[in-house]
Structure 1
Amino acid sequence: MDKKRILIAEDEAIVAEDIRRTLEKFGYQVVGMVSSGAEVLAKTAEFNPDLVLMDIVLQGKMNGIEAAEVIQTRHQTPVIFLTAYADAATLERAKVTEPFGYILKPFEDQSLHTAIEIALYKSQAQKRIAHLNAVLRAVRNVNQLIVREQDLDRLIQQACRLLVETRGYHQAWIFLLDSDLEIFKTATAGSAERDREMLELLEQRLRPGCIGFFHQPGLTILSVLADSCPTCPLRQYYEKEGAFITRLEIAGEPYGLMGVALPQAMLGDVEEQSLFQEVAGDLAFAIHGIYLTEKNRLAEEERRQTEARLHAIFSYAPNVAIQGFDRQGRMLFWNKAAEAIFGRPEINGVADIFDDLLTDKNGRQNLKMILAEVDRTGLPYGPQEFVFHNPAGHQGIAKATIFSIPVEQGSKEFICMSVDITDLKQEEENRVKLEAQLRQTQKMEAIGTLAGGIAHDFNNILAALLGYTELSLLGLDLEPDQEQIRKNLEAVIQAGNRARDLVRQILTFSRQSEEKQKPVQVSLVVQEALKFLRPSIPTTIEIQAHLDAKNGDDMVWADPAQIYQVVMNLCTNAYQAMQERGGILRVSLTNILLRNEPIQTIPQLQEGSYVKLTVRDTGQGMDAWVKDRIFEPYFTTKKPGEGTGLGLSVIHGIVMHLNGAIVVYSEPGRGSTFQIYLPHWKGTSVPRLDYAASIPRGQERILVVDDEPPIADLVQQLLQRLGYQVTAVTNSQEALKIFQANPDAFDLVITDLTMPHLTGLELSRKILQRRADLPIILCSGYSDITVAAEMRKIGIKEYLMKPISARTYGETIRRILATSKE
């Protein structure tokens, strides 16, 4: 235990020495003995004793009472008077200095000891009360600060200043930390030198050692602050000071750290610790409140900005009509785009328009029913297209989606967002028409290029037809050889079938018809195309075909005419590249499985099985500039009149439409290679017909109408051979009169399409007006999509392309008659 230090002020040296010995006997430390008032003031300032024993009568101008008054004012050091005077005047003068004891000489040692102990205890109690009062003032001031201050920087700085100014602590500091435990706000108060060095430390982004206590909950007490923070640059100031450090937190959420430096003697004081923690808790609550206020302010600001943005989007979103409805279908609000597209509700009754015109494949849907379904399922309705009339009275097409939003507890509103797609629909329709025109133009270009091959095939077919017919006629003039005539006639039929197939290929390739996709065996298409091309290609060009397709491995889902067009175009371009010098045209077909690395080189393809068609030539090749542009419409390197530049553009569109890809390899002087990848179709192969079966027969009454007498006679004989009762007429007006004379005389009508006076369509229409249940077969040598549409509209049962075989007639007649009787 430290000895209490006492200063003796006595003008008589013998008395002073006697007092010194007595004090040392009781265990006190005498820091000095002085005899004058001036000396006692100097020694008190030098040694800061715990107690001064003061004689009232001293040497010099200043007596003990005057010296005690100065000591009380400057140092608050307790004083006990030692005097031989006990008169009332002296006592009154001594009271003014508030002495801690008054002992009359002579005194006993024990009386002196008792007086000293009481004075020391009283002094310590008063100092403690004074310090606690200072802390309480600090608490009060901090609480007042919390009430009035809402700026975070000023709050923590003023809090530190108040803790120090009220003499509660020597130094105070507050660090606020972010989620990464980085200091983002600092406040400190105390010594100006300490404050400056602390700020310099933080500007260098150095962390004070006390930050490490952030992870320790509750109050941390450091008996020697300098020893607890050995790396702190400010440790020189804290070698004789202790510290309190605690986290600033609310409900377990820490915001920062607060610390104070104070005399070591105060560290163990329970009230001191409690008061420090109370201040820290109040500050933490205030910081939490500021954070919460700022968070709410930011949230409110964000809400206002979001509301403003949403309002701006709602009001100014171009071409997007937004309308709100309640459960009953009443319109609650709408934006400017809705007015522009549909008109204002109070003028044009937009709610009624929606009620009438929201449709799907099952017909009109009542708006209330739609809202009820959206309300029940929670799922959006649409997007659904519907027809509307704009404020100008013009018809348009919009695409709408309806969904629900919560507005109050248990309440919903319904939003309908619509986009006017009238122009897009028109553009799409125009694009489809343009693509069809491009394909047709390219087809006609290819037909022109292949005219020589077509003429070659037809001349060969005609030679067979005429030759075998002539041989048969000559054979009739001699002794008839029935077997040879049969063979000649079979050869005529075979040549006729070849002619029929050739015409159908040309019509299929050149017609303007809607796309009809079905399973296509690519190898068969390639074989037909090469057979068609061969007569048109110079003999200096060799064709090599490698079609590795087995068991339907080359099946794709496509329009056969489009696949035919792809093959014809690529092969035509290939042989045209070799016309001057000749070369080799290689066509190969294989089935491949694309995975991983191959897919990376052809990014537009997904993993899977593909039919790969390769067309390679040994022509002049292309440089990079030409190769990059070959799929552009109307781009061509050919001379004027030799091509439109549409071919590869159309082919590219076909392949992309089929979810395929085109890869081109070419270099000048090394030819070109085109690789077409089409998804492999793994469905069932197309069933083949059994032509060996007998032709169906019948006995019904049939009216045959054709303006070509040979055709009418041929069909009459053919049907009579099948057992039917046939009336053949070559004039459509006469046929109509025969029918009108006895409408029930016929079970079926077979009529040609193109005839003078009355066409097949006009004749059919008049017949069906009189007898709607009579089945009619329309025949023609040319396929036209508009005729097919009109035929269905009138009610004609079947449409056959000439030439028509006996089997086709027999099977079609039986099928139609069976259907009509059901």
Structure 2
Amino acid sequence: MMPIQEGDSSASSRTSLKVFIVEDESLVAMDLEERLIKMGYEVAGMADNGVEALEGILRENVDLVVMDIHLRDGIDGVDVAANLRKASNIPVIFITAHADEVTLRRAGQTEPFGYVLKPFDERELRATIEMALYRHRAETRLRKVERWLATTLRSIGDGVIATDDKGIITLINPLAESVTGWSCYEAIGRPLEEVLAIYGEDGTNETPAFYAEAMKAGVTIHMGESKRLRTKDGHEVPLDDSISPIRDDDGRITGCVVVFRDCTNSKKLQEERRRLETKMQETQRLESLGVLAAGIAHDFNNLLTVVTMNASLAKSFVPQESPVLRSLTDIQAAAERAAQLCNQMLAYAGQGPVSMEDICINELTRDTAQLLTTAISKKTALSLDLGDNMPKVKGDRSQLQQVIMNLVINASESLQDLPGKIKLKTRYMHVDQAYLEQCRAGNTLLEGDYLMIEVKDTGEGMPPEVMARIFDPFFTTKFTGRGLGLAAVLGIVRSHGGGLSVNSISGAGTTFRIYMPACAEVEKLAEAEQFHSTSWLGTGYALIVDDEATIRMAGQAVLSHLGFQVDTAEDGMRGLEKILRQSFNYKVVLLDLTMPNLDGREVYKIVRERMPHLPIIIMSGYSSHQATDLMNDGGPTSFIQKPFTVDTIKEKLMALLG
């Protein structure tokens, strides 16, 4: 019968095992060699003393050592086995005539794989060798599994701590050492609650309760959110963890294993994700409100166009001394005030009329502060803190002035007619990305240098529920007011490519900060030539293309008054047909930008391709932003925003037609 080798069911499936014999009696050694060869083993070498035995065993790379305990020199078999155990994993079988307790105890300390007493027979020797080889293979596999488990525990991304049934730690992996601050040597043997001290909101160490619950219920217990681990050095870190019972083969609970991880980074990521989601939701909400506000403003401007044109036209037919003139003037003034409200709504939507120029913010701030002295309470102390070497900013002077005025007036009203302070501050400063991302409204800005305008008051501040809605159109906390001030501020800032942040504490004041991109100073454009004439009249045919019948009627009356013969079209398709068919030799076309079927933009592009010299005035209830690309194509084109008066349209016609 051949010896069974590791990984096979019989020795016949591989080569013979190499055995090394250590025996100081030569006759016994020769007899043992003969028996082993007869059994089918290969004898790799023999030695009669400990020193030669160690050298030969390690040199020959043997599979098994059969060794006598008592050898002739100073090193006996037990010492050889002990040294061999340190250097290799070769199994050892002792063969000796001594079976006293002292010898057995010494030999047992080296953990031999077998122990055969002399004299022995071949069957006993064979059985001992086979059992030794089986045990060696089993222990080798076990060590591989242990190394694999140890590597897994070291590599796993979670902390792992195991305990016995008394709650004493028996295992802790490197990540758990790193998180808790306890080394393996310090932790093993200590109570779980001492190393893994988990605290809830009430400040109580909850680890014993979780351990007891897992042991009693016999199921995995998740320790829940808002739990924090108190490390060895006293720091607290957020945890995501669970504790599970460990069972033996009979199903008995022999301890628990805790798996946990430091959630500091994940908490930060969750908070950042929530912040971005909140900002995205706010942006979407404001954009939706902006679209609604722009649509309302556009429709109202169409209605107001009829009022302003008819009122201004009627005034030209009424004698100066007529009482009707006063009524017409009041109607026109009211319509113009309503148009200003519409412009505020367009400003909120980022579509207000803009006249861009290079502006010195310090100069604008000083001028605005002088205007505000009569608009704010006499009990309010308004002070200026203007920065040095301030660059200019590209913007609309009147809109930026409106921003400062609205913020200062709001700050004054927050003082509730009580003594207080408002500080207007400007700076050119570097702003990091983290701070820019805190801006509650405006554009997404990148880290860099910005011109900052700050309005800070010592008023009552705002609670969070008010802060969340201050930029909504028509939201106001005042008894009177339209709720468009801050909405317009937001729209103006957005249209200028800036950002806006608000910091307010109820009872402790509010601070608004506006960040604007600076620009290099450039040469100012020459002022557009203004035409002033009361006697100018046009000639020939004019075409009005607008889907609003009342605007067509009012426009027809105004253009007729200005000397034109007027034709009209109710939509873009009909207007395009009339222009291309050349129903009349039109001197000018008034073209609405927003129409059904075929809008004014498409009509304009087609007409410009075929009739590049035809004068066209684009009309819209929105601002000129909507038609910037059309007006820059080189053709004779002008833009007029609804509503407009007779004098306004006359100036546009004079500038376009000469």
Q: Give the TM-score band, short-chain normalised.
A: 0.3 to 0.5
* More RCO (CA 8 Å, sep 6+): 2
The structure with the largest helix share of the pair is: 1
TM-score by length of 2: 0.38
The structure number with the bigger radius of gyration is: 1
